[in-house]
Amino acid sequence: MYQEIWTFREMEPGSTVDLSGFDVEAVDGSIGHVDEATFDVGASYIVVDTGPWILGKKVVLPAGTIDRIDLDDRRIWVGRTKEQIKGAPEFDPETYRDERYRESVGGYYGGGPNAAS
């Protein structure tokens, strides 16, 4: 499951769709908008700018947490609650692309006893 957590279900590997600015919805409400997205094979994610919801912080959501993307409405739905997303490993602009951080986020969302799934 770990590898699947970093893979988009709806998008083709190597996609060139720009998801920047798309609104992001958790199962229980809006959490912000996409600041950055990557479509790297087996390492895809979105960075969400939460705005005032978590005091202007950002969060990394692995592609596998995304349930649906509406390209026309520019909206993304993730299969997690706001509380689960808020409890994720803290975003660090210096290390969020590192493997160690990715393992922490992947473990949180993708498996193990503390997974937020």
In this structure, what DSSP letter does residue 90 have?
Answer: P
116 is a domain residue: no
Q: How many domains does the chain have?
A: 1
User: CA separation (Å) from 109 to 12, 13, 61?
Assistant: 22, 21, 8
Residue ranges making up the domain that contains 67: 3-110
pLDDT at 27 over 50: yes
pLDDT at 116 (0 to 100): 62
How far is the first Cα of the chain from the last one, in angstroms, to the nearest whole number? 11
The answer to whether position 117 is within a domain reads no
Q: Is residue 115 part of a domain?
A: no
Residue 89, domain member (yes or no)? yes
Contact 16/70 with Cβ under 8 angstroms?
no
- What mean pLDDT, rounded, does the chain reach? 87
- The whole-number pLDDT of residue 1 equals 45
pTM: 0.88
pLDDT band with cut points at 50, 70 and 90 for residue 8: confident
Instruction: For the beta carbon of residue 70, count every other beta carbon within 10 angstroms.
Output: 13
Q: What is the DSSP letter of 14?
A: T
CATH of the domain at 87: 2.30.30.240
76 domain residue, yes or no:
yes
**69 part of a folded domain:** yes
